[in-house]
Amino acid sequence: MLNKKFFILSRTRLYSILTSKDSLVYGIREKKAISLSNLKDVEVNSNMHIKDNLFKNLPITSVVKNCMLNLIKTDTTIKNIDIDEIKCSDIQRLSIPRIIQKNDTPVLKKFLDLVKEEHEINMLTNFDDNTESNFVGDLQMKQVNTSQYHNLLSGIEKPSYPVDIHDDKIDVDIFSIGAETGSGKTVAFLTPLLEYLVLYRSNFNNEKNSSPIVRSVIFLPTNELVNQVYDFLMKNGRPVHLNVKKFDIEVTPSQMISSLRESVEDPIDVVICTPEKITKSLKSINPSYYSHLTNRVEYCVLDETDILMDKNGSLDGLNAFFKNCKNLNTIINCSGTITDNYLSNLKELDIIKRATENNKHQVIITKNLHKINNNINYYNIDCSIGALSNSRIKALGQVIFSIYKKNKRDYKNDPYFMKIFNRIMVFANTKESVLEIEEYLKRLLPNANIQILVKETSVEDRKRILYPYLNYSPRDEVFNEETKTSIPKLVKKFEWIPDSNIKTPIIFSSDTVHPEDIFINKKQDINILITTDILSRGINFKKLKNLVLMEPPKNVLSFIHRIGRVCRYGDTGNENYLSNIKAYNNNVIEKNASVYMITDLNDTKHNWVRDIKKAITFKKKFI
Ligand SMILES: Nc1ncnc2c1ncn2[C@@H]1O[C@H](COP(=O)(O)OP(=O)(O)OP(=O)(O)O)[C@@H](O)[C@H]1O
């Protein structure tokens, strides 16, 4: 099935593991660093190589390619990047060609060749790689040619459609993708999804029936993530003319029903929601719509799958949902952490268990999965030492103080950096701890903008609170030519803060300067967000540079997701992404972010806390 050639990437080879009977893992890892069991070489199709690693060279239709490139360009924090220069992240390079391979049925190939021959001029002008001149965004695409294209595609038999999962011969393909946080997994799952929907859209459009049609569902664990994925996909208007709906917390049951009613005439291509919205709300208010909906779904994405299955009741709901799916073609699971445990938990979903047994479950991982990000400065602050006298909150005050002082000195002539670097995110393990920190900081920093986000925070408040962290003004809006030359260089010299074990690039004496003296009675442009694990997953914080962990998170997985909120792709990200930052003309000063973890003697007794420290010290993988 797969050819016998290994795809050699400098000194790394491609490996697979047998995670369970017949399920394959593809990816690039150094053999010694593998933490997953049963490592085996995998046979990889060598034509999966993407020329120059450029996104534009992915083997996908140009309509989808242009749509995705424009979405990345609009969303990424890499400034002024040309769409021709956008490179694939590791997970995009590894997973997109593999997942869309499924669309590549001989019938489709033959058809596309025919179309190309017969309509060469037409296709070259509108749908080949050379589309930049007449395609700037979805909205500018010539309607007539688009519909012509889709008409041409009508009648193409869908790959392995229809599917009956109750048959022994299950034909649903499952792809579980795992890659480091902030590495563009959203694009990695949206690209094959859109490609599928565009290639095979007309079959459904031609059907006359009276039941709702929802062609694909993207399940996410929280309302914030539902909105994040929806906002990304809709950034430039309707993507490739697809009908995308979000069923977020604000969508009432009656609005949901009326959208589904409309889908009888105008099929919904993508629904983005939490599992509860469909597997509980819809099921209870309109069981018949629920069963029609599930019956029609062809493609499903589970983002942050481990969390989705952890959440109370979601697993049963999802199992019931998939049992009803008669037309399901593909499922993509996504996570920033993949462990043996996770892979075995996945099989609690019957459909995945069945697919695994039928050799239809592929796991795709990158070499940087679970790896420390070298662009982050990690500090461990042991509050049991000296003046901190076992007070985490005091340690937090010191950290904020040192960040503030450093920024004041380094960026006083640069409002852009001042704004970016003066945002601090604090993770606490419990709501009580969040409230306690809030109270302390509000006293310590009366003029700072201190916000908390906990489970009870209302949807409106969440939007308002998160806004400054999810959006940033480009440098040009706050920075002009005159001030450009006066950016001070980042001082590389680090000093210890007296009476603490905090290392910082500033020098001050605790005898003469107290945080209170500096902060009180001054208007500070300092933003602090205090939260719990509620925001540790998937949220695409833009250019966040300071993260404080009030205590070690409950396990290493949570640690990886929390620190994954800084140094995301485009915002310096992992080292191998720097090659993507040709157009990145901000400044190297902006490169690093800092994570401060406050521990006490008790915490360091835990093995995993020691493991984290070791991983950081020796630049190894976390797990
Ligand atoms: N090829 C690319 N080039 C540049 N930027 C990209 C590319 N692909 C995605 N991005 C940008 O990278 C950022 C992070 O992407 P995304 O939120 O999908 O990460 P993720 O892998 O899902 O992270 P997490 O594990 O935290 O959920 C986004 O702002 C996105 O626009």
Per-residue DSSP letters for 282-336? IHHH-HHHHHHHHHH--EEEEETHHHHHHSTTHHHHHHHHHHH-SS--EEEEEES
For residues 407 and 356, membership in a common domain is answered with no
Nearest atom, ligand 1, residue 336 CA:
25
Which DSSP string corresponds to 65-95? HHHHHHHHHHH-SSTT--GGGPBPPHHHHHH
Q: Is residue 570 part of a domain?
A: yes
pLDDT at 586 over 50: no
Q: Whose CA is nearest to atom 19 of ligand 1?
A: 182
| Mutation probe of ligand 1 site: the residue of 74, 90, 540, 572 with most atoms within 8 A of C-beta | 540
* Ligand 1 mean position, distance from CA 58 (Å): 17
DSSP states along 510-572? TTT--HHHHHTTS----EEEEE-GGGTSS---SS--EEEESS--SSHHHHHHHHTTSS-TTTT
Q: Is residue 82 part of a domain?
A: no
Q: Which of 5-9, 268-272, 307-311 has the lowest mean pLDDT?
A: 5-9
Does residue 330 form part of some domain? yes
Separation between Cα atoms, residue 39 and residue 25, nearest integer Å: 9
Q: Which residue has the higher pLDDT, 474 or 91?
A: 91
Q: How far is CA 612 from CA 180, 414, 444, 604, 605, in A?
A: 16, 35, 31, 10, 12
| Domain match, 333 and 385 both | no
401 and 354 in a common domain: no
Mean pLDDT value of segment 177-196? 93
Separation of 201 CA from ligand 1 center, angstroms?
Answer: 27
Number of domains in the chain: 3
Q: How far is the CA of 276 from the centre of ligand 1 (A)?
A: 26
Q: How far apart are CA 576 and CA 409, in angstroms?
A: 31
CATH number at residue 206: 3.40.50.300
User: Are 456 and 586 found together in one domain?
Assistant: yes
Comparing 145-159, 225-239, 292-306, 443-457, the range with the smallest average pLDDT is 145-159
- Residue 30 backbone phi and psi in degrees, to 5: -80, 135
Distance 419 CA to ligand 1 centre (A): 22
Are the C-beta atoms of residues 29 and 367 closer than 8 Å to each other?
yes
Global pTM? 0.80
- Looking at 340, 365, 390, the residue that finishes a domain is 365
- Quick check: is 133 in a domain? no
Domain identity same for 539 and 608: yes
Residues 220 and 176 in one domain: yes
Evaluated on CA atoms 58, 62, 67, 72, the torsion sign reads positive
Q: Tokens 């290493």 identify what position?
A: 556
Which tokens is 280 given? Answer: 């509980």
Report which of residues 204 and 134 the model is more confident about.
204
Taking CA atoms only, the protein residue closest to ligand 1 atom 7 is 184
| Spatial distance between the Cα atoms of 44 and 15, rounded to a whole number of angstroms | 9
The winner for highest mean pLDDT among 28-37, 153-162, 272-281, 380-389 is: 272-281
Looking at the domain assignment, is residue 290 inside a domain?
Answer: yes
Residue with the larger pLDDT of the pair 407 and 23: 407
Mutate to test the pocket of ligand 1, among 187, 365, 544, 565 (most ligand atoms within 8 A of CB): 187
What is the distance between the alpha carbons of residues 405 and 489, in angstroms, rounded to a whole number?
Answer: 15
Which residues sit opposite 376 in a β-bridge? 593
Strand partners for 445: none
Burial class (CB in 10 A: 0-12, 13-18, 19+), 419: buried
229-245 average pLDDT score: 93
Question: Could you give the percent of the chain with pLDDT greater than 90?
Answer: 30
DSSP string for 420-455:
HHTEEEEE-SSHHHHHHHHHHHHHH-TTSEEEEE-T
Tell which of 302, 335, 365 closes a domain.
Answer: 365
**Region of poorest pLDDT, from 349-353, 511-515, 595-599:** 511-515
Q: Are 220 and 245 in contact (CB under 8 A)?
A: no
Check: CB of residue 12 under 8 Å from CB of residue 28: yes
The atom number, within ligand 1, closest to the CA of 542 reads 29
pLDDT exceeds 70 at position 139 = no
- The one-letter amino acid code at 470 reads L
Asked if the structure places residue 419 within a domain, the reply is: yes
Q: What is the pLDDT of residue 275?
A: 94
> Which atom of ligand 1 is least distant from the CA of 540?
17
Q: For residues 481-508, b (16+ Cβ closer than 10 Å) or e, as one string?
A: eeeeeebeeeeeeeeebeebbbbbbbeb
Question: To test the ligand 1 pocket, which listed residue (82, 186, 466) has its Cβ within 8 A of the most ligand atoms?
Answer: 186
Final residue in a domain of this structure, among 365, 390, 410: 365
Is 224 among the domain residues? yes
Residues 200 and 303 in one domain: yes
The 3-state DSSP class for residue 614 equals: helix
- Name the 3-class secondary structure at 349: coil
Residue 59 belongs to some domain of the structure: no
Task: State whether 332 and 382 are in the same domain.
Answer: no
How many other CB atoms sit within 10 Å of the CB of residue 85?
17
Distance 565 CA to ligand 1 centre (A): 11
* 98 Cα to the center of ligand 1, angstroms: 19
Q: Is the pLDDT of residue 12 over 60?
A: no
Residues 6+ positions from 552 with CB-CB distance below 8 Å: 559, 597, 599, 603, 606, 608, 609, 612
HSE-CB of 597 using CA atoms within 13 angstroms: 24
* CA max distance for the chain: 82
Atom of ligand 1 nearest to the CA of 55: 1
Look up the domain containing 206 and give its range: 171-365
C-alpha 184 to ligand 1 mean position (Å): 3
Task: Confirm if 350 and 192 have CB atoms less than 8 A apart.
Answer: no
Tell the residue number behind the tokens 């490996």, with chain if given: 15
- Residue-wise pLDDT tens digits, 376-419: 888 888 888 777 778 899 899 989 988 888 888 877 777 777 87
Mean pLDDT of 199-222: 75
Residues with CB under 6 A from ligand 1: 55, 72, 75-76, 78, 86-89, 92, 179, 181-187, 336, 538, 540, 564, 568-570, 580
Does residue 421 share a domain with residue 350?
Answer: no
Q: Which atom of ligand 1 is nearest to the CA of 71?
A: 31
| Residue 358 sits in the same domain as residue 395 | no
> Is residue 281 predicted with pLDDT exceeding 70?
yes
Please tell me the residue having the least CA distance from ligand 1 atom 23.
182
Determine the distance separating the centroid of ligand 1 and the alpha carbon of 115, expressed in angstroms.
Answer: 34
> Same structural domain for residues 435 and 308?
no
Residue with the smallest CA separation from ligand 1 atom 10 is 184
CA torsion 565-570-572-577 (nearest 10°) is 110
Q: Average pLDDT for residues 209-215, to the nearest whole number?
A: 81
Ligand 1 mean position, distance from CA 574 (Å): 12
Taking alpha carbons only, the member of 171, 169, 176 closest to residue 160 is 171
Ligand 1 midpoint to CA 99 (Å) = 18
Backbone angles phi, psi at 444, to 5 degrees: -70, -40
Nearest Cα residue to 27 out of 371, 316, 515:
371
Instruction: Please state which of the ranges 119-128, 144-153, 328-337, 569-578 shows the lowest mean pLDDT.
Output: 119-128
Same domain, 314 and 356: yes
314 CA → ligand 1 middle, Å? 26
Residue type for position 203: N
The span from the CA of 160 to the CA of 44, in Å, is: 22
Residue 486 token pair:
């006066």
| Phi/psi of residue 502, nearest 5 degrees | -90, 125
Mean pLDDT of 90-100: 89
d(CA 531, ligand 1 centre) in Å: 22
